[in-house]
């Protein structure tokens, strides 16, 4: 019996103590008609040896194409120490730290994480994580609506240049609460979200919050200072959506405009979390000090013990569902503790200088990639706005079959922008992080050139 320690003697003794004859007698309060039969649809149990063989074969089958896609999930180096430590049983198999004295490891680590995220975002408060960047943004918007006492309108302006999957997630999670998500157009030349478009989306009516991705989905840098100042002047809160790696070099949300964004969120994935087909990742959420009581999710505070020594515990639990139930700031119950553990160790290993080097290397590699691909006739940047470490490229031939041919060669060549932005024509979004070598970039360019040439003269 895998994972069950009972010997026959144990079971007999225990049943005798309880005073029943069989294991089945323990279910005697359940109406007989409800009892399940054999679960024939489930295969018989496998020893670890056999499931290991199966999983190894399946993992191998998925291959490991060379990745030139970012689009919300980034292929970064993860130090070996990160997961060797995060997977230690004491982190891996502990629960939410309800008994603070027996959970100082997790609690202190979460406090350190909160400290790192406030340092990165330039905001005063960070929670201990949410599910991922997209659902975290939804929580941020609910929070903004609750927090914005000056504006009762449940309207939020959302750039179309925000990640499409994030926009879809928002629709699922906040639309049912009567919140209206108003799209903002992007400029076809720059790829930025212009102030004029924001004004047009607002339509002169009050709105609770403006979402500001930096960089936006196209990798383009938004004029966050002007947009932040304008939106706050309208009484709206500004919710920044940021990639933490870029914050090593980009102005943090806390510094946007005159007074800084009110809330910032994003995905922790680029900080030590493997791509892993999309999860588990972790969302982070930071805000101004005065918004802390509207914060969803776990918060760890530093306090003192009976001897006056510092220690850590979950705090402001009165916001949460297990206390406040229907009136909680969110239904959220878990954070993504294990991923936060990895991210915290990752950031400690990189430090501020290391993270800046990673950001620089990503920018340099993407620039090299764009240069190389740009040498191919018909390929050119789609937008002329400033970018960070992703770039949208126009292609001379249809993107989808090209990407298919590339993947057959073991290259994940880019994200097909036509899937969500048909108006952009044949265009892809590419990214080359610090782990891509010059050889890999040149090889990609060479193959792409051959594939395009094989399709005849570019139009």
* Residues of the shown chain interacting with a copy of itself in the complex, contacts defined by CB under 8 A: 47-49, 52-53, 77, 79-80, 84-85, 87-89, 434-435, 437
Q: Give the DSSP H/E element, type plus range, for residue 126.
A: strand 125-126
Q: Least distance (Å) from other proteins to the CB of residue 156?
A: 16
What is the nearest approach in angstroms of a copy of itself to the Cβ of residue 342?
16
Determine the Cα angle at 380 with ends 379 and 381, to 5°: 140
Q: Round to whole Å and give the CA distance between 414 and 171.
A: 26
Sorted by sequence, the CB contacts under 8 Å of residue 191 that are 6+ apart come out as 161, 216, 218, 219, 220, 382, 383, 384, 385, 392
- With CB cut-offs between 5 and 8 Å by kind, which of other proteins, a copy of itself, none does residue 437 bind? a copy of itself
Least separation in angstroms between CB 88 and a copy of itself = 7
Count CB neighbours of 40 within 10 A: 6
Q: What residue 426 binds from other proteins, a copy of itself, none (CB within 5 to 8 A, per partner kind)?
A: none
Please tell me whether residue 189 binds other proteins under the rule CB under 8 A.
Answer: no
Judged by CB under 8 A, the chain residues 56 through 115 that form the site for other proteins are: 56-65, 67, 69, 71-73, 75, 77, 79-81, 83-85, 87-106, 108-112, 114-115
> How far is it, in rounded angstroms, from Cα 359 to Cα 244?
10
Is residue 125 a contact point for other proteins (CB under 8 A)? yes
Residue 202 or 339 having the CB closest to other proteins: 339
> Smallest gap, in angstroms, from Cβ of residue 76 to a copy of itself?
9
3-state secondary structure of 159: strand
Which residue lies nearer to a copy of itself by CB, 220 or 361? 361
Taking the complex as a whole, the smallest distance from the CB of residue 454 to other proteins amounts, in Å, to: 20
Is residue 436 a contact point for other proteins (CB under 8 A)? Answer: no
Which helix (H) or strand (E) segment holds residue 205: the answer is none
Which lies closer to other proteins via its Cβ, residue 169 or residue 193? 169
The residue range among 185-193, 227-235, 316-324, 448-456 that interacts with other proteins, by the rule CB under 8 A, is: 316-324
- Minimum CB distance to a copy of itself, residue 49 (Å): 4
Cβ pair 312, 111 in contact under 8 A = yes
Q: Which is nearer to a copy of itself, 328 or 435 (CB)?
A: 435
Looking at 388, 390, 393, 445, which residue binds other proteins (CB under 8 A)? 388
Q: Is 307 in the site for other proteins (CB under 8 A)?
A: yes
- Rounded least distance, CB 71 to other proteins, Å: 6
Residue 190 interacting entry, from other proteins, a copy of itself, none, C-beta within 5 to 8 Å by type: none
Compute the distance between CA of residue 154 and CA of residue 208 in angstroms, rounded to an integer: 6
φ/ψ of residue 340, rounded to 5: -65, -35
**What contacts 411, CB < 8 A, 6 or more positions away?**
65, 66, 68, 443, 444, 447
Choose the one of other proteins, a copy of itself, none that binds residue 53, judging by a C-beta under 5 to 8 angstroms depending on kind: a copy of itself
In angstroms, the CA 151 to CA 133 distance is: 25
Quick one: tokens of 451? 């594939």
Residues 326-365 interacting with other proteins (rule: CB under 8 A): 326-328, 330-341, 344-345, 347-358, 360-361, 363-365
Q: Which is nearer to other proteins, 200 or 305 (CB)?
A: 305
372-394 burial, b at 16+ Cβ within 10 Å, e below that, comes to bbeebeebebbbebebbbbbbbb
- Within 200-219, the residues that bind other proteins by CB under 8 A are none
Query: Which residue carries 């969120």 as its tokens?
Result: 265
- Does 258 bind other proteins (CB under 8 A)? Our answer is no
CA distance 62 to 12: 47
- Nearest of 344, 120, 146 to residue 240 by alpha carbon: 120
């Amino acid at each position: 019996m895998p994972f069950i320690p009972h010997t026959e003697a144990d079971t007999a003794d225990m049943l005798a103590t309880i005073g029943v004859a069989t294991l089945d007698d323990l279910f005697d309060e359940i109406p007989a008609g409800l009892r399940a039969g054999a679960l024939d649809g489930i295969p018989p149990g496998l020893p670890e040896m056999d499931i290991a063989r199966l999983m190894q074969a399946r993992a191998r089958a998925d291959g490991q194409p060379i990745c030139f896609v970012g689009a919300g999930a980034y292929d970064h180096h993860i130090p070996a120490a990160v997961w060797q430590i995060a997977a230690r049983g004491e982190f891996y198999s502990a629960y939410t730290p309800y008994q603070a004295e027996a959970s100082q490891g997790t609690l202190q680590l979460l406090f350190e994480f909160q400290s790192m995220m406030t340092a990165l975002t330039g905001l005063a408060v960070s929670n201990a994580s949410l599910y991922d960047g997209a659902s975290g943004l939804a929580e941020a918007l609910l929070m903004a609506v609750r927090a914005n006492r000056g504006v009762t309108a449940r309207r939020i302006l959302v750039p179309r240049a925000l990640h499409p999957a994030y926009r879809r997630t928002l629709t699922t999670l906040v639309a049912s609460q009567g919140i209206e998500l108003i799209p903002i157009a992007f400029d076809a030349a720059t790829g930025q979200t212009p102030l004029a478009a924001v004004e047009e989306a607002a339509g002169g009516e009050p709105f609770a919050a403006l979402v500001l991705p930096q960089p936006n989905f196209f990798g383009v840098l938004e004029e966050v200072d002007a947009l932040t100042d304008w939106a706050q002047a309208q009484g709206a809160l500004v919710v920044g959506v940021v990639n933490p790696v870029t914050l090593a070099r980009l102005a943090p949300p806390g510094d946007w405009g005159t007074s800084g964004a009110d809330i910032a969120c994003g995905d922790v994935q680029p900080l030590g979390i493997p791509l892993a087909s999309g999860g588990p990742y972790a969302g982070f959420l930071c805000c101004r000090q005065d918004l802390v009581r509207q914060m969803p999710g776990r918060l760890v505070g530093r306090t003192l013990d009976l001897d006056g020594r510092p220690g850590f515990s979950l705090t402001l639990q009165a916001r949460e569902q297990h206390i406040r139930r229907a009136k909680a700031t969110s239904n959220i119950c878990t954070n993504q503790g294990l991923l936060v553990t990895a991210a915290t160790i990752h950031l400690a290993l990189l430090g501020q200088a290391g993270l800046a080097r990673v950001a620089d290397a990503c920018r340099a590699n993407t620039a090299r990639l764009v240069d190389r691909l740009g040498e191919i006739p018909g390929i050119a940047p789609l937008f002329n706005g400033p970018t960070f470490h992703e770039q949208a490229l126009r292609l001379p031939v249809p993107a989808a079959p090209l990407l298919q041919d590339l993947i057959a060669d073991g290259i994940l060549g880019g994200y097909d922008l036509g899937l969500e932005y048909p108006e952009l024509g044949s265009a892809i979004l590419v990214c080359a992080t610090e782990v891509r070598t010059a050889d890999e970039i040149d090889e990609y360019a060479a193959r792409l050139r051959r594939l395009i040439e094989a399709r005849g003269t570019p139009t």
